[in-house]
Structure 1
Amino acid sequence: MSRIFSRFLDGAVCAFEPVADGPLEPVAIFHAGVEEVCAHSVAPDLKRAVYATRHAVVCVGRDAGEQWRYELRPRSGERYGHRPACAFSLDGAEVWVYRPDAMAGRGPTDRWVVLDAGSGEVRGEAALETAGHGGEHFRHISGTCVLLDVGEGQDGTVIYRGALTGEGLELHRYPWGDRCLIDFAPDGARFMTVNHDQGDVAFHDFPGGGVLLRLPLDAFGHDADDASVEWSGGYLEADTVIVTVGGETEDGEDWHRHYRVDPSDGNVLGPFDAGSQHAYDVEPLGDGSWLVSDGAGRPVRTRARR
């Protein structure tokens, strides 16, 4: 499985590979030519990157040359409330694109499109039953499917599973509209969600989605009047997940705490000091290490001491 990930820094899509501890240096840099992007991804062979703006998905090479462009037509006249998403498949052969067409004024619902990574040609697409503001792709370790979490604001969150077949994009919608996808287990056999109202965390089997375990907020010693489960965290290792709880002090200051949890039985193993700047500044990597950001937004890898 490719461990390449990207950050958008100083007008460029920067590729990183977490092979060392401490501050990470880019292994490839792709200049985008724009100051802001909605999403970005790098191919596992480091030969190309894609980024999404509100109007297009663009593929660029390491020489900053544009290789292809997929226009989100018709061009939207809405300035806010719609953020497209893009991600390479695990093998780098396709680019998955979430189109928030409803909020962009392009149609009654959103669309999910799969492009050929080499040419930008459409290989499959499907209409969704959502009117989302944005989405996030989660690639399964098998490489055979991708999950998409579509955020519909106060209306909740919808999770889809998609697979590219000879017939096009095969679509499955999970039977909830109130759970936010957080992370896959390292072996891909489970996944973690947080309730949209931030009242609990749950663990599901894959691909079915059956709930194996659910932990309410009070399992962490917090009350719903002053705290909530954040849409953050994930699998630190196969047998340990990080769950984030946050809130606001009487003085209006944000606070957050991370907790280690055994996902097999729900045992809260204790607090976890990730060294994070805020509730969403932690990305467990599944191998006992995790990422946070330095003051400039650059990734720093840390490993728990044994």
Structure 2
Amino acid sequence: MIIPARYSDGAVRTPGGVTFPVPVEPREEAVAPDLTCAVYTTDNELVCVGRAGDVRWRHAFGAFQEKVLGVRAGCAFSLDGKTVWLFRPDAMGNWNDSQDTWHVLDAATGTVLASAELETVGHGGAHHVHPNGTDVLIDVGEGQDGVLLFRGRLDGTALEVVPYPWADRVLVGIAADGRHFLTIGHEQDTAEFHSYPDGEVVHQVSLADLGYEEDAWLEWTGGYLDADTAFVVVGGEHDDEEWFRHHLIDVRTGAHLGTFDAHTPNAYGVIPAGDGGWLTFDDGVFHRHTR
């Protein structure tokens, strides 16, 4: 089970109230499924800590940088908690003279088990752990140049990486049963549901399908509330005021099911729970909601 985690007031926090004190604000954070430890990235390293904030291990990225601008190293635990996946935007981070790299580390020791070069020049990489327990997906954002999506699997001492054949779609969610995943176009004009693992488009939803003709865009967020219901977020601007609305989509047909109140002032604030409900994180506290 993937545990949602957010940083606030000196600690990485979880919905169940378990906290992990950390001395700096992380660039990204993740919590082990058994809640015994957390990992987080800084400008120069990946750090694993226990509940008391005790450092269990560190993984340095390379040559120390006083300040890394415009990039963010990403991390995630595997579904069983035995490994930690790390994306390093090396091409822009200047830690090493290399392309962006993807690594799998032993969660208990921090030992690197496998690595691969991605041939990307990314600002950051968002991990999505597949429910099958073996696969991890990552989309690497290259700013105005687009975003590239990869599927990874640890095979002994090798990290097998399969790229998807597009550079213009942002992965925003994987269905709880793992059969489909949801992407938003980099141009923010379409949402697409893809079969897994081949990536074939099952349904496409446009802004017009949601009732918008112009002056609106799809935010790069969304996900699955349950096996049959997904959501996307439409944003826009009116009289210099920005607005957004959460829209429901029938995963089986691609039909628009209307809007819902997500109970968050942030277009990116919904954390799907997969059982029909979702979480939001406000003032250092997770809140649970249902429709």
Q: What is aligned with 1:22?
A: none
Q: Are 1:158 and 2:148 matched, yes or no? A: yes
Structure 2 unaligned spans of 5+ = none
Q: What is aligned with 1:101?
A: 90
Q: What is aligned with 1:270?
A: 258
Q: Are 1:137 and 2:127 matched, yes or no? A: yes
State the AA in 2 paired with 1:258: H
Q: Are 1:290 and 2:278 matched, yes or no? A: yes
Offset, 1:16: 2.3
Q: Which sits farther off after the overlay, 91-100 or 6-15?
A: 6-15
Offset, 1:261: 1.0
Q: Are 1:126 and 2:126 matched, yes or no? A: no
Offset, 1:297: 4.4
* Secondary structure of the structure 1 residue equivalent to 2:213: coil
Offset, 1:204: 0.3
Q: Which sits farther off after the overlay, 88-97 or 104-113?
A: 104-113
Offset, 1:132: 0.5
Deviations 1:143-170 (A, max 9, x none): 1110011111101011111100024101
State the AA in 2 paired with 1:249: H
Aligned residues of 2:15 and 2:285 also touching (Cα < 8 A): no
Offset, 1:63: 2.1
Counting only pairs closer than 5 Å after superposition, residues 190-269 of structure 1 correspond to structure 2 as: 190-224=180-214, 226-250=215-239, 252-269=240-257
Offset, 1:108: 4.3
> Out of 167, 174, 182, which is 1:177 matched to?
167
* Secondary structure of the structure 2 residue equivalent to 1:40: strand
Deviations 1:117-143 (A, max 9, x none): 111110000001110001111001111
Aligned residues of 1:178 and 1:196 also touching (Cα < 8 A): yes
Offset, 1:293: 2.8
State the AA in 2 paired with 1:271: T
- The whole-number CA distance in structure 1 between the counterparts of 2:237 and 2:68 is 31
Aligned residues of 2:137 and 2:150 also touching (Cα < 8 A): yes
Aligned residues of 2:2 and 2:79 also touching (Cα < 8 A): no
Aligned residues of 1:182 and 1:193 also touching (Cα < 8 A): yes
The percent of aligned pairs where both chains have the same amino acid is 47
Deviations 1:206-237 (A, max 9, x none): 0111111111111111124x100111121111
Q: Normalization by structure 2: what TM-score?
A: 0.96
Q: What is aligned with 1:14?
A: 13
State the AA in 1 paired with 2:227: A
Q: What is aligned with 1:66?
A: 55
Aligned residues of 1:77 and 1:104 also touching (Cα < 8 A): no
Q: What is aligned with 1:299?
A: 286
Offset, 1:262: 0.6
Counting only pairs closer than 5 Å after superposition, residues 83-98 of structure 1 correspond to structure 2 as: 83-98=72-87
Aligned residues of 1:202 and 1:215 also touching (Cα < 8 A): yes
State the AA in 2 paired with 1:274: A
Structure 1 unaligned spans of 5+ = 18-25
* Secondary structure of the structure 2 residue equivalent to 1:5: coil
Aligned residues of 1:148 and 1:160 also touching (Cα < 8 A): yes
Query: Cα gap change, 1:103/1:146 in structure 2, threshold over 3 Å: closer, same or farther?
Result: same
* Secondary structure of the structure 2 residue equivalent to 1:103: helix
Q: What is aligned with 1:80?
A: 69
Q: Which sits farther off after the overlay, 253-262 or 72-81?
A: 72-81
Q: What is aligned with 1:114?
A: 104
Aligned residues of 1:242 and 1:284 also touching (Cα < 8 A): no
Q: Which sits farther off after the overlay, 284-293 or 203-212?
A: 284-293
State the AA in 2 paired with 1:164: L
State the AA in 2 paired with 1:298: V
Query: What is the alpha-carbon root mean square deviation over aligned residues?
Result: 1.3
- The whole-number CA distance in structure 2 between the counterparts of 1:156 and 1:3 is 27
- The whole-number CA distance in structure 2 between the counterparts of 1:48 and 1:262 is 37
